[in-house]
Chains A and B, each alone.
Chain A
Amino acid sequence: MTSDETRHDELPAVGTPPSPCFETLAVGDELPPLTKGPLERVQLVKYAGASGDFNPIHVDEPFAKSAGYPSVFAHGMLSMAFLGELLTSWVDPRQLRELGVRFVAITWPGDTVRARATVARKFEAEGERRVELAVWTENQDGKHTLDGTAVVGFP
């Protein structure tokens, strides 16, 4: 075996993050958090285009003000997408089973979004081992903006 081959064997397959091991996960374990931002209005425009969600409240400042808000604000689904990114950076995208959130506070331009998750429960369902995670996003003041649950399956 050449040294090149050895190195290849040791590298995880690209696109497949070194997967956490179901056996060693413990309730309370926290995933490496993901920090985004400060969010810019341009990013909201970009997200509107990428997601197809052109609700004007997120991109049209006069419209947002006429609706009683001080400015445009981030799509709740953008913060949810950050949670999606957090989870699919942690496990292979095909292991994500469910992601559900409550939108509990608004994220404003200039805010930082920190996506976090902790292991809440280990169980079996539909013939596979699963981990339920408490997931949330918080802003720069530690205030929760999304609160929810995710389920990840392990082969």
Chain B
Amino acid sequence: MTSPRATREELERRLATYVGAAAGPPEVGRDPVDGALVRQWCDALDDRNPAYLDEDAARASTHGGLVAPPAMLQAWVLPGISMSRAAADPENRQRELHALFDAQGYTGVVATNCEQAYDRYLRPGDRVTGHTVIESISGEKATGLGSGYFIDTRTTFRDQHGGQVGWMTFRVLKFKPAAPPAAARERAAPPKPRRLRPALGHDNAWWWDGLRCGELLIQRCKSCGQLRHPPRPMCGACQSTQWDTLASGGRGSVYSFVVMHHPQVPGYEYPLVVVLVDLDEGTRLISNLVGVAPGDVHIGMRVEARIEDVDPELALPLFRRETSAGG
């Protein structure tokens, strides 16, 4: 059996044969630089620079016509959909190199650096060809993702006259995955969905604030004494806008109820019992009934509210079966 050390030496000896080699045949742009693909690019970015998009404006500008965004440099030579196919291209040494790493367990790949330089911007009609060389391969490095090798490639881009229009270096890390990517772990436990937030405003925020302070408040008209809920600025009986509150004992009886099975909104547990409760003080309140099987809920049932933090930002008066006589 070969020791891991020998395996690494063997691997690194083979890696050395790739350094300086062309990554593959020249990458000849399938189409000349053209306005249609520039528009697709700008669409993807939501870039609205008229020098890229507006023929007339560009012609009237110092450019004398449309130009291509510099960052599109590589886009003119990438092969498109064939990149997603696994079929090995015998002439593609870069893929061969990646396959060699894969076979040694360095199956992970992540791009780490990219640098581009622009000798001139491109214009519609230019034909671009890229020549990519595998410039260097590092020794084995320990990284946050796992141990692996950095591969540097350099692509030189030339136009139809052979003139250099720019270059790009690209560095990828081929690594042995040590563990699921850190980001995957972070995302593995998505935050628990929360209940819908109430729409808060000047006229009702005080009621929700009361819950957060542990009080179930009822609005009371200062003029005629009528109680009302949900909160609103004017008394429906006497039209007074003067009001105060009293704290409810939270006890009452079920006036009506529904059991929600569908649709299921994230943040709630189903079946969800929604109750309309006649509070003993004399107003009605909609909330949820918990700790009671849906089949056991009945109209007239005595219930009591307990204010609970359903999440760190929301307290609700949840009703349960009344446990003792009210006082």
Q: Tell me the A residues contacting B by CB distance below 8 Å.
A: 13-16, 36, 43, 46-47, 49-56, 60, 68-71, 76-78, 80-85, 88-89, 92-94, 96-103, 105-106, 108, 148
Contact = CB atoms under 8 A, between A and B. Distances in A.
A6 B46 CA distance: 32
B143 to A, nearest CB: 13
Contacts of B126: none
A8 to B, nearest CB: 10
B281 interface: no
A101 B113 contact: yes
Interface residues of B, number: 53
Contacts of A148: 115
B146 to A, nearest CB: 11
B61 to A, nearest CB: 4
Nearest to B56: A14
A36 B58 CA distance: 25
B205 interface: no
Given A52-B77, A85-B47, 5 more contacts: A13-B61, A46-B40, A49-B80, A68-B184, A101-B113
- A-B pairs, top 5 by smallest CB distance, nearest first, are A84-B71, A52-B78, A100-B115, A15-B51, A15-B61
Contacts of A54: 80-84
A97 B69 contact: no
Given A69-B184, A93-B67, A102-B113, A81 B45 contact: yes
Nearest to B83: A54
Nearest to A13: B61
A88 B116 contact: no
A98 B166 CA distance: 9
Q: Count chain B CB atoms within 10 A of each CB in A52, A56, A102 and give the residue with the most.
A: A52
B57 A81 contact: no
A85 B49 contact: yes
B297 interface: no
Contacts of B83: 52-55
A51 B181 contact: no
A52 B84 CA distance: 10
A116 B116 CA distance: 18
Contacts of B37: 50
Contacts of B45: 36, 47, 78, 81-82, 85
B118 A97 contact: yes
B43 interface: yes
Nearest to A64: B184
A55 B63 CA distance: 34
A97 B44 contact: no
B121 interface: yes
A51 B75 contact: yes
A68 B58 contact: no
Contact of B70 (A16, A56, A93): A93
Contacts of B202: none
B64 to A, nearest CB: 10
Contacts of B54: 14-15
Interface in B229-260: none
A35 B47 CA distance: 11
A93 B70 CA distance: 7
Contacts of B77: 52
Given A54-B83, A85-B71, A96-B70, A47 B118 contact: no
Contact of B69 (A92, A93, A102, A108): A93
Nearest to B177: A68
A84 B136 CA distance: 27
A97 B70 CA distance: 9
Given A16-B51, A70-B188, A47 B183 contact: no
Interface in B184-222: 184, 187-188
Interface in B29-60: 37, 40-41, 43-47, 49-52, 54, 57-58, 60
Contact of B120 (A94, A100, A105): A94
B22 to A, nearest CB: 20
A94 B115 contact: no
A92 B61 CA distance: 11
A152 B288 CA distance: 62
